[in-house]
Amino acid sequence: MIYLKYVGRREKCIMPKGTNQKFKLYRLAQIMLEKTDEEHYITMPEIMESLAEYNITADRKSIYTDLRDLSVLGIEVEGEPIGNRYHYHVVSRTFELPELKLLVDAIQSSKFITEKKSNTLIKKLEKMVSEYEAQKLQRQVYVSGRIKTMNESIYYTVDAIHNAISENKKIKFQYYQWNVKKEMELRHNGAWYHISPWGLSWDDENYYLVGYDSDAEKIKHYRVDKMLHIRFSSENREGKEFFNKLDMADYAKKSFGMFGGKEQTVKLLVKNNLVGVIIDRFGKNVILFPTDDEHFTVNVNVHVSRQFLGWVFSLGDGIKIVGPDDVVEQMRSEIKRLIEHYS
């Protein structure tokens, strides 16, 4: 309510203050971010009405000043004359709507993020846009056969791994597997793994810890969602000399399904129509050698395992291992084993 107060001979318009005046700039920012965007505007009377809902009163002049002050907070507000009134809206945000849509899609389609955590993260992303644009983020990404992890502690496990790496400490954890009763079962009778963490790798929709096992004196990797009860060790990390020679991206590229195996250079004979498959897997730097009008050969460095052989097998007669001889023999043995298994 506006009332008049006499001060000497001059009339002065005094507006009673609401009980939450100290939150005025914060609430104004909230209103502008929630109720406006590139397509939705708000008028000065609507701003005053929205502030009143928070028991905050303000006159037009002070609101004009506050709208300018929002730029200090990184919130740029623009006023446009429409009809006989100015309409105000936020013109820039930290993230654009298409960028947030990509993040939402990535969260929903990520296997290692649980359904519960996916919903929580998306709700937080919705707060970064207006209430109108938030509705566009409430969309379902359908991925064939999508299975989400059930380990809710994975986010804290990842954080603990990063902290251990930054503080140069080993970690201890227990590792589980599923049994035929669909129960979590600790491996090695619940023994603790004592590992020097050096990095995290994303492969085949799963998160892996890549670390050094001092007892085995070699690099190993572990599914992060299968790690339990992670804790810091008092010991400093070991295996630095191994990781100084390791290209993490290259390591993941060579390991099919992150299964280990002897690293070898394998020569493949490939049909031209599968060139995209080779580039997608091994990158554009691979050298292709034309052999005839329909085929090329390529030398790739891989960890030879059943998973690698299975990948080759899955491509049918479009690809063939032609060297070295011991890998060709491994493929023959694997084919023979499968024939006997199904005969």
Alpha-carbon span 148 to 311, nearest angstrom:
24
Could you report the per-residue pLDDT of 166-192, keeping only the tens digit for each?
A: 999 999 999 988 776 777 889 999 999
Alpha-carbon span 235 to 253, nearest angstrom:
31
Beta strands 288-290; 227-236: pairing state: unpaired
The Cβ of residue 296 has, within 10 Å, a number of other Cβ atoms equal to 18
Is the pLDDT at 8 greater than 70? The verdict is no
Is the pLDDT at 4 greater than 60? The verdict is no
Could you report the per-residue pLDDT of 78-91, keeping only the tens digit for each?
A: 998 888 888 999 98
Mean pLDDT of the chain: 83
Beta strands 218-223; 206-213: pairing state: antiparallel
For 299, phi then psi, to 5°, come to -105, 125
Domain regions of the chain by residue span:
16-90, 97-137, 162-246, 256-342
Is the pLDDT at 163 greater than 70? The verdict is yes
Instruction: Quote the tokens at residue 139.
Output: 């969309």
- Stated length of the chain: 343
Topology adopted by domain 16-90 = Arc Repressor Mutant, subunit A (1.10.10)
Among residues 250, 307, 313, which one has the least CA distance to residue 281? Answer: 250
Among residues 309, 307, 157, 176, which one has the least CA distance to residue 232? Answer: 157
* Structure confidence at residue 256 as a pLDDT band (50, 70, 90): low
Is the pLDDT at 315 greater than 60? The verdict is yes
Residue 249 pLDDT: 60
Could you report the per-residue pLDDT of 100-150, keeping only the tens digit for each?
A: 888 888 887 777 777 788 888 888 998 888 988 888 876 654 444 455 666
Q: Torsion-angle region of residue 118: left (phi > 0), alpha (psi -120 to 50) or beta?
A: alpha
Among residues 72, 82, 71, 75, which one has the least CA distance to residue 41? Answer: 82
Is the pLDDT at 10 greater than 50? The verdict is no
Is the pLDDT at 241 greater than 80? The verdict is yes
**What's the rounded mean pLDDT across residues 225-236?**
92
Topology adopted by domain 162-246 = SH3 type barrels. (2.30.30)
Is the pLDDT at 15 greater than 70? The verdict is no
Residue 9 pLDDT: 41
Is the pLDDT at 197 greater than 90? The verdict is yes
Could you report the per-residue pLDDT of 278-291, keeping only the tens digit for each?
A: 887 787 888 999 99
Could you report the per-residue pLDDT of 43-101, keeping only the tens digit for each?
A: 999 999 999 999 998 888 999 899 988 888 888 899 988 888 889 999 888 888 888 88
CATH architecture type of domain 256-342: 2-Layer Sandwich (3.30)
Is 208 within 8 Å of 154 (Cβ atoms)?
Answer: no
* Structure confidence at residue 252 as a pLDDT band (50, 70, 90): low
Residue 327 pLDDT: 93
Q: By mean pLDDT, which of 155-164, 205-214, 244-253 is the weakest?
A: 244-253
Alpha-carbon span 123 to 285, nearest angstrom:
40
> Where do we find the tokens 């085929």?
295
Residue 277 pLDDT: 85
Q: Same CATH fold, 256-342 and 162-246? A: no
Alpha-carbon span 278 to 192, nearest angstrom:
39
* Structure confidence at residue 159 as a pLDDT band (50, 70, 90): confident
Query: Residue by residue, what is the 3-state secondary structure of the chain?
Result: CCEEEEECCEEEEECCCCCCHHHHHHHHHHHHHHHCCCCCCEEHHHHHHHHHCCCCCCCHHHHHHHHHHHHHHCCCEEEEEECCEEEEEECCCCCCHHHHHHHHHHHHHCCCCCHHHHHHHHHHHHCCCCHHHHHHHCCCCCCCCCCCCCCCCHHHHHHHHHHHHHCCEEEEEEEEEECCCCCEEEHHHHCCEEEEEEEEEEECCEEEEEEEECCCCEEEEEEHHHEEEEEEEEEECCCHHHHCCCCHHHHHHHCHHHCCCEEEEEEEEEEHHHHHHHHHHHCCCCCEEECCCCEEEEEEEEEECHHHHHHHHHCHHHEEEEECHHHHHHHHHHHHHHHHHHC
